[in-house]
């Protein structure tokens, strides 16, 4: 049965109109089927130090010296805190003397040389029947024993050297050295205090350059590559504040599925010494 058989002309017109597609409203009407998108929109993030290291001692001890104070600039390998190491230095000197002493080795070498001379003489005497075969065997055994004594002396000397090296490491562990060029952000102890192993003692940070971990929308983040220039604007800065120039140094290989973002690390030079922790807007 066709529609024409059950519907009047007026009703048929109503049915046709109800299924006609709605006209698209242009930009002038304030609506469009195409989305605006967020590509290129600034991303909110926070600056952080490019290095942030908290140092601890690996053994307990009493603090003897803190040559710096909070806020001081330090260079890599500078000693920033030292434990009392007087007793350890005495033991180090003793082990050094033992490591440098070769008396036992030289004595064993001399004894071996003498035993070899004795063996040669006894063998010559035995050739002229002036010494027995038993005496020759005893002389050979003396040479063997002297060779083993020399090996033992050399082994003990090597162990003395290793003990000295071990003590050098222990004494070195009683000094904390800055691993970076930076500034001392925080000191948690004072001279005269005793600290336990692995207790936080001092914090050293490097704020030049600054790093920014920006959560970039995935569609935009996949197009970013290391070396790309980034523009960084400090939130809350003066209206005419200069936009900082940075560069992308890392793009994560795994996106955050919950937020649909990709972590992009930006490095920003900081010769003016701006503090880390400022909120910024990052654009590419």
Closest CA to 46 of 209, 271, 283, 214: 214
Within-domain flag for 229: yes
Within-domain flag for 200: no
Euclidean distance between CA atoms 165 and 186, whole angstroms = 32
Q: Is the Cβ–Cβ distance between 264 and 214 less than 8 Å?
A: yes
Within-domain flag for 240: yes
Query: H helices of the chain, where?
Result: 3-6, 9-18, 86-100, 103-127, 133-172, 218-221
Report pLDDT for 32: 34
Within-domain flag for 273: yes
The strand pair at 73-74 and 79-83 is best described as unpaired
Joined tokens for residue 88: 């350890």
Within-domain flag for 194: no
Query: In tens digits, what is the pLDDT along the chain, a chain of 284 residues?
Result: 444 444 444 433 333 333 334 333 333 333 333 333 334 689 999 999 999 999 999 999 999 999 999 999 999 999 999 999 999 999 999 999 999 999 999 999 999 999 999 999 999 999 999 999 999 999 999 999 999 999 999 999 999 999 999 999 999 999 999 999 999 999 999 999 999 999 999 999 999 999 999 999 999 999 999 999 999 999 987 777 778 999 999 999 999 999 999 999 999 999 999 999 999 999 99
Within-domain flag for 73: no
Domain stops at, among 172, 194, 216: 172
Within-domain flag for 141: yes
Within-domain flag for 145: yes
DSSP state of 25: P
214-253 tens-digit pLDDT: 999 999 999 999 999 999 999 987 777 778 999 999 999 9
């Amino acid at each position: 049965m066709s529609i024409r058989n059950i519907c009047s002309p007026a009703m048929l017109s109503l049915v046709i109109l109800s299924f006609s597609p709605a006209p698209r409203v242009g930009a002038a009407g304030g609506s469009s089927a195409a989305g605006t998108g967020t590509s290129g929109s600034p991303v909110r993030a926070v600056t952080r130090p490019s290095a942030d290291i908290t140092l601890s001692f690996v053994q307990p001890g009493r603090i003897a010296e803190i040559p710096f104070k909070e806020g001081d600039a330090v260079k890599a390998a500078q000693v920033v805190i030292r434990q009392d190491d007087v007793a350890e230095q005495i033991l180090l000197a003793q082990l050094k003397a033992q490591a440098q002493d070769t008396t036992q080795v030289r004595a064993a070498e001399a004894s071996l040389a003498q035993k070899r001379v004795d063996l040669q003489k006894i063998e010559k005497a035995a050739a002229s029947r002036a010494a027995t075969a038993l005496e020759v065997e005893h002389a050979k055994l003396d040479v063997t024993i002297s060779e083993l004594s020399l090996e033992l002396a050399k082994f003990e000397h090597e162990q003395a050297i290793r003990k000295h090296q071990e003590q050098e490491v222990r004494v070195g562990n009683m000094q904390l050295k800055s691993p970076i060029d930076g500034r001392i952000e925080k000191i948690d102890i004072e001279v005269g205090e005793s600290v336990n192993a692995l207790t936080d003692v001092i914090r050293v940070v490097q704020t030049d350059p600054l790093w920014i971990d920006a959560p970039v929308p995935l569609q935009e983040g996949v197009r970013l590559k290391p070396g790309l220039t980034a523009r960084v604007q400090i939130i809350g800065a003066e209206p005419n504040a200069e936009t900082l120039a940075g560069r992308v140094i890392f793009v994560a290989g795994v996106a955050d599925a919950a937020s649909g973002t990709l972590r992009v690390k930006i490095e920003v030079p900081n010769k003016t010494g701006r503090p880390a922790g400022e909120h910024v807007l990052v654009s590419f």
